[in-house]
Amino acid sequence: AEKGGYEHFMMKEMMEQPRAVANTLHPRIKDGKVVFEDEGLTDERMAKAKHIHIVGCGSALHAGMVGRSVIEKLCRVRCTASIASEFRYENPIIEPDDLCIVISQSGETADTLAAMRQAKKAGAYTVAIVNVVSSTIAREADGVLYLWAGPEIAVATTKAYSAQLAALYLFAIKLASVRGKITAEQEKTYCDALYQLPEQIDTMLGTKEKMQYIATRYANRSSIFFLGRGLDYAAAMEASLKLKEISYIHSEAYAAGELKHGTISLIEEGTLVVALATQPELYEKTISNIREVVARGAEVVLVTGEDFDGDASYCSSVLRLPKLPHEFSASLSIVPLQLLSYYIAVERSCDVDKPRNLAKSVTVE
Ligand code: BG6
């Protein structure tokens, strides 16, 4: 796999995200409907699931956390996203007909494979969302949704994570449709919006220069916080992991409402806080959390929706997402934050594609 003229595989793969997401989406959207053909995921199977379990590690888990939020919002079915290495040992409560979505780019992660086997043994129907064709998880799962994102070389995933989100949106729309939670019209609206997603991701890649500039200002920080509520909290988890993985800067993602119960004691003059506020129903609450950290000296980079009309004058930078259904905002908010982590890591002369201590796939426990 060549770098295609880019300095790092990670940059090449970030720039490939529109194509990767299109490869996941386009074969599965026909005439305004989501179709899963020969992927081992029938309408009947989806209709009878009472609980959706999602398992994964690292960024795959973070994609699952976003998926959990979208599935519960659209389908009103109980859904949990669990760390695979925890799930495999906690004797999970699984009922017959439960669905277990197993997310893994490589399809070889030991903890995720073990969690899937545990779920199968307990009677769940397993559906793998994987990138590597014929990987172990893909072969052992009952159903498989391949990402078709192409080989991903950089240890810190970008295009596979984005494609995992796309696959989870498809699952959520299909599940909502099969269970009568959305009309055919609504399904078409969501599918039309998904068709725009690759182009909108490309638009967010256009923040490259801006994020490179911001990165030079914050590359020497000892710790950086990411805040969000609901789906934005799940997105913040992935943004924080990206930074830790490749720049070695300590970082935490925090549920914005939880900050005052402890972590705010760590906020001091000049602390960088990246705040995600893309869900209109949570704007006001998240903005008040942001004001709390600004009052204690934090500098804030805000990622918000194009429809946010509040006061953001106290933020050092504001990034606005183009208009899209709010359920899909994590696909866009992550892009500038991937770029931010990348440029901070480059500024710090880190090995971007092969960060210390990390492996592309952890096939041992
Ligand atoms: C880690 C990778 O080792 O494993 C992460 O560095 C990845 O990028 C995680 O998210 C899970 O890997 P996979 O292949 O199961 O998605």
Question: Residue-wise pLDDT tens for the chain (365 aa)?
Answer: 589 899 999 999 999 999 999 999 999 999 999 999 989 999 999 999 999 999 999 999 999 999 999 999 999 999 999 999 999 999 999 998 999 999 999 999 999 999 999 999 999 999 999 999 999 999 999 999 999 999 999 999 999 999 999 999 999 999 999 999 999 999 999 999 999 999 999 999 999 999 999 999 999 999 999 999 999 999 999 999 999 999 999 999 999 999 888 889 999 999 999 999 999 999 999 899 999 999 999 999 999 999 999 889 999 999 999 999 999 999 999 999 999 999 999 999 999 999 999 888 888 88
pLDDT at 269: 93
Of 205, 146, 189, the closest CA to residue 16 belongs to 205
User: Token digits for 272?
Assistant: 């960088």
Query: Using a 6 Å cutoff on CB, does residue 341 contact ligand 1?
Result: no
Q: Write down the pTM of the prediction.
A: 0.97
Question: How far, in Å, are 184, 321, 341 from residue 251 at the CA level?
Answer: 42, 23, 11
| pLDDT for position 96 | 86
Tokens of 54: 């999602």
Instruction: State in Å: Cα 151 to ligand 1 middle.
Output: 14
Where does the chain have alpha helices with state H?
Answer: 9-15, 17-25, 43-48, 58-75, 84-87, 110-121, 136-140, 159-178, 184-205, 208-218, 231-247, 283-295, 330-347
CA distances from 233 to 70, 96, 229, 245, 283 (A): 13, 31, 5, 18, 13
Vertex 175: Cα angle to 48 and 124 (nearest 5):
45
Q: Is the dihedral of CA 304, 309, 312, 317 positive or negative?
A: positive
Contact 148, 129 (CB under 8 A): no
Q: Which two tokens stand for residue 63?
A: 């994609």
Residue nearest to atom 15 of ligand 1 (CA): 104
Mutate to test the pocket of ligand 1, among 13, 14, 59 (most ligand atoms within 8 A of CB): 59
Q: Are 107 and 84 in contact (CB under 8 A)?
A: no
Place of tokens 């720049």: 247
Residue 316's identity, in one-letter code, is S
Asked if residue 106 has its Cβ within 6 Å of ligand 1, the reply is: yes
> Does ligand 1 come within 6 angstroms of the Cβ of 69?
no
| Total length of the chain | 365
Let me know: does 212 contact 21? Beta carbons within 8 Å: no
pLDDT at 262: 86
